[in-house]
Structure 1
Amino acid sequence: MDDLDAGILEELRQNARASYGDIGARIGLSASAVKRRVDRLVADGVIRGFTIQVDPAVDGLATEAYVELFCRGTVAPRELKRILSGVPEVVDAGTVTGSADAIVHMRSRDIPSLEMALERVRVAPNVDHTRSAIVLSRLINRNYD
């Protein structure tokens, strides 16, 4: 991957519907050269797919929180994944360094439904406790997946 490929990726991140001609005009390539590079980036697995992003509020998921998850003893990441996969309000999660075992991003329609989802996480066998922070306003949202 070179600087031109990086430029194509950045343009597609900004607008996945941009035409090859528009992208080429911004980075200094012809439309056909951009298409060849995009095809190669897809074939090489650099670009994994094209998608849309919908405002979660449209789906009734306007309430969001970040939750630190603290476990009793040592819990394998696959066990945490199993626990969290059963809670539909969990939209993202990962193990972390520090005192918490994992950080969990949750979305729900309102505070009562968030509380019910948190309770489903809290009652899991290996979970000791959680610490939550409800998002008041989004400042930056960059998606790199």
Structure 2
Amino acid sequence: MDSLDYGIIDQLRLNARAGYGDIGDIIGLSASAVKRRVDRLVSDGVIRGFTIQVDPAVDGLSTEAYVELFCRGTVAPDELRRILSGIPDVVDAGTVTGSADAIVHMRSRDIASLELALERVRVAPNVDHTRSAIVLSRLISRSHD
């Protein structure tokens, strides 16, 4: 990958619907050269797909929380993945350093739905307790998947 490829990726991150000619005008290539590079980036697996981002409130998921998950003993990441993947309100999760074993990002319709989802996490085997923080307002939201 070179600086032109990174420029193409940057432009597609800003607007996945941008035309090849528009991208080319910004980074200094012809539309056909941009298309060839995008095709190569897709075939090489650098670009995994093109998507849209929909406001979660449109889907009725306006209540959001970050949850620290604390386990009893040592729990393998695969076991945490199994536990969390069965809860639709979990939109993102990862193991972390520090006192918590994992951080879980949840989205629900309302507080009552969030509470039900949290209870499903809490009763899972090996889960000792959780600590939750409900999001009041989103300040920055970027996706780099």
TM-score strictly above 0.5: yes
Cross-structure match for 1:79: 79
Unaligned runs of 5+ in 1: none
Q: Deviations over 1:15-50 (max 9, x none)?
A: 000000000000111000000000000000000001
SS for the counterpart of 2:105 is strand
Q: What is the letter of the counterpart of residue 115 of structure 1?
A: E
Q: Is 1:130 matched up with 2:130?
A: yes
Deviation at 1:125, TM superposition (A): 1.1
Aligned residues: 145
Unaligned runs of 5+ in 2: none
Cross-structure match for 2:67: 67
Q: Is 1:15 matched up with 2:15?
A: yes
Q: What is the letter of the counterpart of residue 90 of structure 1?
A: V
**Moved beyond 3 Å, runs of 4+:** none
Q: What is the letter of the counterpart of residue 9 of structure 1?
A: I
Kindly, what percent of the aligned residue pairs are identical? 86
Equivalent-residue separation in structure 2 for 1:136 and 1:2 (angstroms): 40
SS for the counterpart of 1:54 is coil
Cross-structure match for 1:39: 39
Cross-structure match for 2:93: 93
Structure-to-structure mapping, 1:42-61, within 5 angstroms: 42-61=42-61
CA RMSD of aligned residues (A): 0.4
Equivalent-residue separation in structure 1 for 2:97 and 2:90 (angstroms): 20
TM-score (norm 1): 0.99
Cross-structure match for 2:24: 24
Q: Deviations over 1:30-87 (max 9, x none)?
A: 0000000000000000000011111000000000000000000000000000100111
Q: Deviations over 1:106-144 (max 9, x none)?
A: 000000100010000000110000000000111111100
Cross-structure match for 2:143: 143
TM-score (norm 2): 0.99
